[in-house]
C-alpha cells in the first residue's frame, strides 16, 4: 500500500479552484450546504454542475445563482444508477466535464436509538449516503464510507481533477433541524 500523495483531495481541489475558473460538480445542490457551496462558487466565477432531487428547489437556486446560463442544474437522484447515467450523459453533451467533484448529497433519519430506527429509514440513509457516492449511527457510518470512496476516486481520477468528501461537521441546516429540532 502506498501513502497518499501530499496535496491530494481537498488541498488539490483548493489549489485547482484558486488557479482560475473551474467546473465543479456538486451532488445534493438543491439545499443546505450544497446550495451554499454552489452559490459561493458561482459568485467566484466557477461553473457549477449540480444535481438534487427537488425540481422546485433547483429552480429556486437557478434564480438565485450568479450567471445562471453558465451553470447546469438538473434533477437527479444519487441512489439511482439510471439517474446518474443520465446526468453523466447530459454533462458530456453540454461539455461541462467537471474539474472538481463534491460528493455532498446526503440524508439523515429522525434522531432515534439505533435499535429503534425503522429499516426503511436505515436503508434510505445508506442508499443515499453510501451507495449514492459510488439514526445518527447510520448517518455517521455512511459519511465515513463516503470519505473512503472519495479517497479511492481521487486516486483514480486523471491529473487536474479532484474529488472531495465534504465533511464540515454539524452545520445548522434544515436536514439537521429535522433530526434534532431547533
Measure the CA–CA gap between 29 and 75, rounded to whole angstroms: 10
Measure the CA–CA gap between 163 and 103, rounded to whole angstroms: 8
Q: Give the burial string for 114-151 (b: 16+ CB within 10 Å, else e).
A: eeebeeebbebbbbbbbbbbebbebbeebbebbeebbe
Measure the CA–CA gap between 78 and 182, rounded to whole angstroms: 28
**Dihedral over Cα of 127, 130, 131, 132: its sign:** positive
3-state secondary structure of 50: strand
Report the catalytic residues: 139
Alpha carbon 56 to its chain centroid, in Å, reads 18
Give the chain's end-to-end CA distance (angstroms, integer).
Answer: 45
Amino acid at each position: 500500500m502506498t501513502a497518499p500523495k501530499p496535496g491530494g483531495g481537498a488541498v488539490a481541489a483548493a489549489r485547482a479552484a484558486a488557479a482560475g475558473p473551474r467546473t465543479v460538480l456538486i451532488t445534493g445542490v438543491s439545499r443546505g450546504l450544497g446550495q451554499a457551496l454552489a452559490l459561493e462558487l458561482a459568485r467566484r466565477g466557477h461553473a457549477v454542475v449540480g444535481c438534487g432531487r427537488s425540481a422546485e428547489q433547483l429552480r429556486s437556486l437557478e434564480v438565485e445563482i450568479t450567471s445562471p446560463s453558465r451553470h447546469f442544474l438538473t434533477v437527479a437522484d444519487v441512489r439511482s444508477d439510471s439517474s446518474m447515467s443520465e446526468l453523466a450523459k447530459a454533462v458530456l453533451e453540454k461539455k461541462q466535464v467537471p474539474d472538481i467533484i463534491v460528493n455532498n448529497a446526503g440524508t439523515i433519519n429522525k434522531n432515534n436509538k439505533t435499535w429503534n430506527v425503522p429499516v426503511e429509514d436505515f436503508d434510505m440513509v445508506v442508499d443515499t449516503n453510501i451507495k449514492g457516492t459510488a439514526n445518527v449511527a447510520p448517518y455517521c457510518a455512511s459519511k465515513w464510507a463516503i470519505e473512503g470512496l472519495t479517497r479511492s476516486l481521487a486516486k483514480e481520477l486523471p491529473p487536474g481533477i479532484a474529488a472531495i468528501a465534504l465533511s464540515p461537521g454539524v452545520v445548522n441546516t434544515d436536514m439537521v433541524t429535522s433530526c434534532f429540532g431547533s
